[in-house]
Each structure stands twice: as C-alpha cells, then as structure tokens.
C-alpha cells in the first residue's frame, strides 16, 4: 500500500488534486478550513476533516493535530491548495516536515522570496527575467516620488491575504493621489505594497504551471492563457486555455532553475505589445485554480508529484500541448454578462470555450457529483446572507425561520 496523501483546502484546485490522486489509486484525506471548501464532499476522499476554529493560533494547533493523526501509520504526502495553506506550512516548517513531504523546495526562504512581490523582482533580476517597472512603496513619499506614468498599479506584496481583506487583488491608480490613497489604506491594514507599471494587455496574460522534481527536472508542464477572469482585467481565471508559447515556458523555466526551485510552481507573465516581450507578473508556489486542466488519465501532474515526493522516480510527462480548456461556469457566466453589457463580448465568443473538444471543469464531474451540490448549497446560502445584510427585512425573515 502506498503512502497516504492529504490535501489542505478543497476549493477548485484542491478538489482537482483530490480527484486526480483518488482516481489513480492513492488514499487521500481532505482537510477543509472554510465553509466554501465544497470539495470535502468528494467521493475520492478516504477521510474528511474539518478545521473551522476562527482564532489563527488555535486553528494552527488543530491543523497540526490533524496532520499528526493522519501520519500515525505512515509519512504523509501533503498538498496545500491556497497561499494560506502554504503560509501555514512556512509557519510550522520543521513540525510539518517531520511527518510529511510537501511540493515545495527545501529552503522555505526561497518560497517567501518568490511569493512576495518586492523580493520577486530581485530574484527575477538575478535570473535575467524581465519584469514591468516596479517601485517598492515603503513610505508615502516613495509613492509620490515614483516616476511612473498613470495609470499604474498598487499591488500588495502578499496577494491572497490582501484579497481576503479588500475583495480585490490590486488598485489601478489613475493618478498619484489615487495611489497615495490606496497605499494609505493598505498600510493602515498592515499590508506592504509595490507600485508597478501597467502593461496594456489584460487579455494576454500567460502562465507556466509546472512540477519540478526533487532532482531538479521539470517533470510536467503546461502553458496557457487566461481567456476571461474575475474581477475583469485583474483577477483569477474563469476560462483558461492551453496555448503553447515557447517564450513563456523558457522564461518560467529560467527563473525556477536559477533559484533552484522544486515542487509546484505557477509563473505568470504578460505579453507586452509595445516591444513584443514577456514580463513576469508573479509566482505562486502552489497549484493554480485552473490546475485541473493538467490532471487526467494519461497526463496527471498530481500523480507525478505524488510519486516524486513518495520517493519514486516518475517518468517526465514533458509539456502538455493538446488543446484543452478549463472552465468555472458559475463565475464565467457573471463575467460574461458584465462584458456583454459593456458590448465587449458577443454570444459566439462567450460560448466558444464551452464548445471546445477537451474540457476540465472547476467543480462539476460526472463521476463525482456531490461537490457540485455542496457548492450550490454554499452559493445559495452566501447569496441569502448578502441579501440579508442589504435588506433588513430579509434578514429578519431568515432569522425567524430558524
């Protein structure tokens, strides 16, 4: 019997990991940390655990206890889904590494340097990978003196925590005063920021998603482009399509090789039409939300990563070049409606991804329907809660019906 796997976080990427590992015969435990971890309902989970303690220190203690319980019989192979899962591992690096192997490099400092926007610029410069012009905004004076032509971007050094706090990934500042206001808001909430030149190509954002083995070989890679995203312009993909682009693959590989990175990496670059170059935007040290596009029979990056971390020597899969599309239908319907309202998207273009030959879906799967039902229940509850906050009468009605 092989070593057990555990997936920490069960939204689309975590669900894709659990399904891909479970379908390939691995015993998988799922750990949910929020009500929107609808993947906890997957049939491919051999064990299900919930850690919903609201206090951070107590939640970490519960997570460590859950992992220790799962690792009682055999050493774990642990896959964090989101940045907050990676952050948990970094806070408890030695304790976790005593009982589990993880798809991250042995140096936790490297993970922090690549994930943070300020130190990523330094790593990119050492590797010779171009980035949009970036200024570290440590003070208000630094914002005012930055020689960037508006509009430019005010970006948090740590994206996921900022997005949870402000419900946005960044601020597009149309003036210096707007940038100062965004900086003050972020600074008051404890977030460091950088200012970055805006590359005028929101529909030309490409990604390299790869797994680099413990011996430094890239064992499986996929390159593609965001077709639509939420929020519009600067957000997470709602439609992602495989589009082989050698320059994206080579620049991403150059950065990871120069830093000595191993494990899962998602390197995002933007095509600059002004000089036909690609420039680095960010590195996520985890599976992207659309990672399920690379997890299927015959081309399963999740199983390759599991085998490598479990001490096997899997054969490299190379680069995925077969046409494929990943879809988050619920979010994409909302984005498409917004674009159609602004006359930016017609019906034919909106439906084109859904007519593609090979599709990977964020939640829906014929052989595993329960996560979709769990998502529907969660979405309905979330919508009702939002309505209750906006209309007091609805809130009173909901409370009286309990």
- pLDDT one-digit tens code per residue, 273-306: 999 999 999 999 999 999 999 999 999 999 999 9
The gap from C-alpha 83 to its chain's centroid, in whole angstroms, comes to 7
- Same-domain status, 291 and 357: yes
Q: Is residue 184 part of a domain?
A: yes
- Same-domain status, 331 and 310: yes
Q: Is residue 396 part of a domain?
A: yes
Task: Quote the number of domains for the chain.
Answer: 4
**CATH number of domain containing 178:** 3.30.1490
- Same-domain status, 254 and 341: yes
**CATH number of domain containing 57:** 3.40.50.720
Cα 97 from Cα 172, distance rounded (Å): 40
**Tell me: the pLDDT tens digits for 93-126?**
999 999 999 999 999 999 999 999 999 999 999 9
More confident: 43 or 164: 43
Check whether 178 has a pLDDT greater than 60.
yes
Check whether 400 has a pLDDT greater than 60.
no
Residue finishing a domain among 102, 122, 157: 102
Q: Is residue 188 part of a domain?
A: yes
Q: Which pLDDT belongs to residue 395?
A: 57
**Tell me: the pLDDT tens digits for 34-61?**
989 999 999 999 999 999 889 999 999 9
**Tell me: the pLDDT tens digits for 345-357?**
999 999 999 998 8
**Tell me: the pLDDT tens digits for 315-349?**
999 999 999 999 999 999 999 999 999 999 999 99
Cα 66 from Cα 82, distance rounded (Å): 18
Check whether 401 has a pLDDT greater than 60.
no
Q: Which pLDDT belongs to residue 357?
A: 82
Structural domain span for residue 391: 370-400
Q: Which pLDDT belongs to residue 399?
A: 58
- Same-domain status, 220 and 307: yes
Residues 195-213 have a mean pLDDT of 93
- Same-domain status, 214 and 355: yes
**CATH number of domain containing 283:** 3.30.470.20
- Same-domain status, 147 and 95: no
- Same-domain status, 209 and 356: yes
Q: Is residue 124 part of a domain?
A: no
More confident: 137 or 106: 106
Q: Which pLDDT belongs to residue 392?
A: 66
- Same-domain status, 329 and 383: no
Query: Comparing 187-191, 199-203, 260-264, which segment has the lowest mean pLDDT?
Result: 199-203
- Same-domain status, 247 and 327: yes
Tell me what percent of the chain is helix, strand and coil, each rounded to the nearest 5: 45, 25, 35
Q: Which pLDDT belongs to residue 402?
A: 57
Q: Is residue 109 part of a domain?
A: no
Q: Is residue 113 part of a domain?
A: no
**Tell me: the pLDDT tens digits for 227-259?**
999 887 788 999 999 999 999 999 999 999 999
| CA–CA distances in Å: residue 273 to residues 149, 173, 229, 388 | 17, 21, 20, 46
Check whether 169 has a pLDDT greater than 90.
no
- Same-domain status, 15 and 81: yes
Q: What average pLDDT does the chain have?
A: 93
Q: Which pLDDT belongs to residue 397?
A: 55
393 pLDDT band, cuts 50/70/90, is low
Q: Which pLDDT belongs to residue 398?
A: 55
Cα 231 from Cα 229, distance rounded (Å): 6
Check whether 272 has a pLDDT greater than 80.
yes
Q: Is residue 83 part of a domain?
A: yes
- Same-domain status, 140 and 40: no
- Same-domain status, 352 and 380: no
| CA–CA distances in Å: residue 92 to residues 85, 100, 108, 176, 285 | 11, 12, 10, 40, 17
**Tell me: the pLDDT tens digits for 147-157?**
899 999 999 99
Residues 175-188 have a mean pLDDT of 94
Q: Is residue 120 part of a domain?
A: no
Cα 45 from Cα 22, distance rounded (Å): 7
Q: Which pLDDT belongs to residue 324?
A: 94
């Amino acid at each position: 019997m092989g070593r057990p796997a555990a997936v920490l976080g069960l939204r689309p990427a975590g669900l894709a990991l659990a399904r891909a590992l479970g379908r390939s015969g691995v015993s998988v435990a799922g750990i949910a940390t929020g009500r929107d971890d609808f993947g906890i309902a997957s049939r491919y989970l051999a064990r299900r655990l919930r850690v919903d303690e609201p206090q951070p220190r107590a939640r970490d203690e519960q997570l460590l206890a859950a992992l220790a319980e799962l690792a009682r019989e055999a050493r774990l192979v642990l896959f964090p889904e989101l940045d907050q899962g990676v952050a948990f591992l970094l806070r408890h690096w030695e304790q976790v590494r005593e009982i589990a192997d993880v798809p991250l490099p042995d140096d936790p400092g490297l993970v922090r340097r690549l994930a943070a926007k300020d130190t990523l610029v330094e790593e990119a410069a050492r590797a010779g990978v171009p980035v949009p012009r970036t200024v570290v905004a440590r003070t208000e004076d630094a914002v005012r003196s930055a020689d960037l032509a508006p509009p430019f971007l005010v970006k948090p050094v740590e994206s996921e925590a900022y997005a949870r706090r402000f419900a946005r990934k960044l601020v597009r500042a149309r003036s210096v005063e707007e940038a100062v206001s965004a900086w003050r808001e972020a600074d008051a909430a404890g977030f460091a920021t950088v200012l970055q030149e805006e590359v005028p190509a929101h529909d030309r954002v490409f990604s390299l998603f790869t797994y680099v083995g413990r011996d430094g070989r890239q064992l499986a890679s996929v390159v593609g482009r965001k077709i639509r995203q939420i929020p519009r312009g600067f957000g997470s993909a709602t439609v992602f399509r495989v589009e082989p682009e050698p320059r994206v693959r080579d620049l991403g590989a150059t950065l990871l090789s120069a830093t000595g990175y191993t494990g899962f990496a998602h390197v995002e670059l933007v095509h600059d039409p002004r000089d036909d170059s690609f420039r680095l935007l960010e590195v996520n040290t985890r599976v992207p939300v659309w990672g399920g596009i690379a997890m299927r029979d015959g081309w399963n990056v999740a199983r390759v990563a599991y085998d490598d971390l479990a001490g096997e020597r899997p054969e490299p899969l190379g680069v995925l070049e077969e046409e494929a599309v990943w879809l988050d239908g619920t979010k994409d319907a909302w984005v498409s409606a917004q674009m159609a309202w602004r006359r930016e998207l017609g019906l034919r273009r909106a439906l084109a991804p859904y007519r593609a030959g090979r599709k990977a879906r964020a939640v829906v799967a014929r052989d595993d329907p329960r996560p979709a039902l769990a998502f529907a229940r969660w979405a309905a509850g979330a919508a009702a809660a939002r309505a209750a906050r906006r209309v007091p009468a609805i809130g009173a009605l909901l409370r009286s019906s309990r």
